[in-house]
Amino acid sequence: MANNPNSITIVGNITRDPEMRYTPSGAGQATLSVAVNRSWKNQQSGEWEERVSFFNVVCWRDLADNVSASLKKGTRVIVTGRLEQRSWETESKEKRSVVEIIADDVAPSLLFATADVHRTERKGSGDGGGFNNRAQGSTATSNSGSGGYEDMGEEPF
């Protein structure tokens, strides 16, 4: 992963419980939003200022199952993955796009919390986050009209 120029790592709080869905072929997909806070001291006013950025995160297969079963709103997490743009057209023919993080791994931050880790049995040959699909040239373009997450080209598995 170190040689991938499209790698990203964020640390923040989950803003809503992960939402679990399944593709028609049965692949699990969990989506979540992570808020990342940045604060700094304004040199002119001497006051502390803060800015919050929100990132949509998409997890696939085993990672999706584990994220959905383990994490909830408010949990501080560390997310590693890649940025991917997904485009679609609305029912009224408007073009929309979004940049998401396709997660390779998601972990609870242990800076201010503890975790009880339980190993799960691996279900498939993939790592659960789409890492193997990167080498296969997967895309995340959807023309579903609703902008939903219906089978976004992350297959085959």
Furthest CA-CA distance within the chain: 57
Rounded CA separation 130/32 (Å):
16
Q: How confident is the model at residue 67 (pLDDT cuts 50, 70, 90)?
A: very high
Segment 69-83 shows an average pLDDT of 96
Segment 123-147 shows an average pLDDT of 41
Cis preceding linkage at 156, omega within 30: yes
Beta bridge partners of 10: 79
Note the pTM of the prediction, 2 decimals.
0.72
Structure-model confidence comparison of residues 90 and 144, the more confident one: 90
Identity of the residue numbered 37: N
Question: What is 7-135's CATH topology?
Answer: OB fold (Dihydrolipoamide Acetyltransferase, E2P) (2.40.50)
Residue 74 has pLDDT above 60, yes or no: yes
Question: What is residue 124's predicted lDDT score, i.e. its pLDDT?
Answer: 60
Can you list the alpha helix ranges (DSSP code H) found in 23-130? Answer: 61-70
Question: What is residue 137's predicted lDDT score, i.e. its pLDDT?
Answer: 33
Question: What is residue 122's predicted lDDT score, i.e. its pLDDT?
Answer: 74
